Amino acid sequence: MSKGFPMYNVIRVVHFAEATDASDRAEYIETVRIAVKELGALRQLVAPTLPGVINGGDALVHLHFPSAEDAARHTAELDAALRGPITVRVDGVGYPACPAQARVDEPRTLYRALLIRVDPSAAGDAVERFERDLLKMPDYISSIVAWRLSRVATPSVAPSGHTSGNRSSPTRSTHGPVPEPSRPLERRRPLVRPGMP
């Protein structure tokens, strides 16, 4: 593992049926927390998203593996653990980690992932310009205290080619592969409850 950051990340955003009550949500979160402990991830985050999140799903799962191979060995188990009677959709990606940038001495109490799908026909220079612009966001949003931009390496868990992003996840999708590339911008300081990595 290199210098303080995981080598490969897997993110899943779980969407529940609207009528799901609080006790079923809590039971689901706890069941998934127990299941992901068996997957060999270096770090695990399983948490409900905050109330009022827009298109951000109901639960966020973020796992850090030592390698893409380790992640690949456990992805099917993870996705099986996320299926359940209250689950209506799961969005997600896998990607290699890169070094994060951070503001010195700022607490990192909240976590946010922004997943964006890029049209495969987009010009490379336009994509690179957009990525540079994304990395400027912390200059304008002081509550972003640590951030990184990584390109997706594994097919998205989503059914259609949509541009997505919000407080925790992609919008409108279900299980199934989506053509790539996508880029997750990780930022610390978002919409999942405290106690996160």
**Domain map (residue ranges) of the chain:** 8-188
Q: Is the pLDDT of residue 109 over 80?
A: no
pLDDT of residue 177: 31
Burial class (CB in 10 A: 0-12, 13-18, 19+), 97: middle
Phi-psi region of 94 (alpha: psi -120 to 50; beta: other; left: phi over 0): beta
Q: Is the pLDDT of residue 161 over 70?
A: no
User: Which residues in 156-178 are b (16+ Cβ under 10 Å) and which e?
Assistant: bbbeebbebbbbbbbbebeeeeb
pLDDT, greater one: 60 or 146: 60
Is pTM beyond 0.85? Reply is no
Fold of 8-188: Alpha-Beta Plaits (3.30.70)
* Percent of the chain clearing pLDDT 70 (strictly above): 76
| Structure token pair of residue 126 | 């336009």
pLDDT of residue 158: 63
Cα separation values, 122 from 95, 118, 191, Å = 20, 7, 30
pLDDT of residue 34: 95
Beta bridge partners of 96: 8
Q: pLDDT class for 4, splitting at 50, 70, 90? A: low
Q: Is the pLDDT of residue 95 over 60?
A: yes
